[in-house]
């Protein structure tokens, strides 16, 4: 079997060890680093390569650590699974013990229910974590000693700006040909920041 193993981290510094530990010899690994699950699967560099290989008949099975590695949007997760299923290829969620197609290539009612539940939980936890982050930022703003945001009117050192993790990631995505809007969705940043990176590195 030609097994594809898809890995994703939503932050460049996020620990990916738990996903790496599951890799077995012979698997073809597709890894998206620092890519938000809110970005459509087909818009991610490794995700797009995986779908292209599915279409070309190079893959017979897709494995992920958990369903949420496919995404954080119920609709996109279901669309991605449906596309892969259209080529009669099952998806295996290792931790959740779910195989999306049975031996005859059909999706059972129970499996369909599990996929919908897991996809919904994936989106729910995304919004829950996002809300916690926003609350934390607001609390930090109220505490002048803790808030480290750049003061209005201050000028950021260009050398330091170039070395920032998010700046480097934007540069990488630009070089891969990813559009400005997908970059903003992936890294949850403003278009102005992307334009600034383009200006600093390419103008």
Residues of the chain with pLDDT under 50: 13, 147, 152-154
Q: Provide the pLDDT for residue 27.
A: 95
Residue ranges of the domains in the chain? Answer: 3-118, 158-202
Q: Which stretch of DSSP H or E encloses residue 194?
A: helix 191-202
Fold of the domain built from segment(s) 3-118: Rossmann fold (3.40.50)
Q: Provide the pLDDT for residue 168.
A: 87
Specify the 3-state DSSP secondary structure of 162. helix
Residues 6+ apart with CB under 8 A from 74: 116, 119, 120, 122, 123
> Chain-wide mean pLDDT for the chain?
79
Measured at the CA of 88, the angle between CA 85 and CA 91, to 5 degrees, comes to 55
Tokens of 6: 């898809």
pLDDT by residue (tens digit) across 15-28?
Answer: 678 888 889 999 99
| Reported pTM | 0.58
Residues 6+ apart with CB under 8 A from 95: 65, 66
Distance (Å, rounded) from C-alpha 185 to C-alpha 129?
16
Quickly count helices (H) and strands (E) in the chain: 8, 5
Q: Provide the pLDDT for residue 193.
A: 86
Tokens of 104: 């005859």
């Amino acid at each position: 079997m030609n097994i594809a193993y898809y890995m994703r981290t939503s932050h460049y510094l996020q620990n990916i060890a738990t996903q790496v530990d599951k890799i077995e010899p012979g698997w073809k690994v597709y890894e998206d680093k620092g890519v938000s699950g809110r970005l459509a699967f087909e818009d991610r560099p490794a995700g797009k390569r995986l779908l292209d290989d599915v279409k070309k008949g190079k893959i017979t099975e897709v494995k992920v650590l958990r369903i949420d590695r496919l995404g954080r949007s119920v609709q996109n997760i279901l669309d991605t699974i449906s596309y892969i299923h259209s080529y009669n290829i099952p998806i295996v969620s290792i931790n959740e013990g779910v195989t999306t197609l049975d031996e005859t290539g059909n999706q059972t009612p129970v499996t369909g229910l599990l996929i919908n539940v897991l996809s919904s939980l994936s989106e729910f936890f995304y919004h829950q974590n996002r809300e916690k982050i926003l609350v934390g930022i607001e609390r930090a703003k109220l505490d002048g000693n803790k808030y480290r945001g750049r003061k209005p009117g201050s000028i950021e050192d260009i050398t330091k700006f170039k070395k920032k993790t998010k700046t480097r990631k934007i540069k990488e995505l630009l070089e891969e040909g990813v559009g400005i809007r997908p970059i903003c969705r992936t890294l949850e940043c403003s278009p102005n920041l992307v334009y600034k990176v383009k200006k600093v590195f390419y103008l």
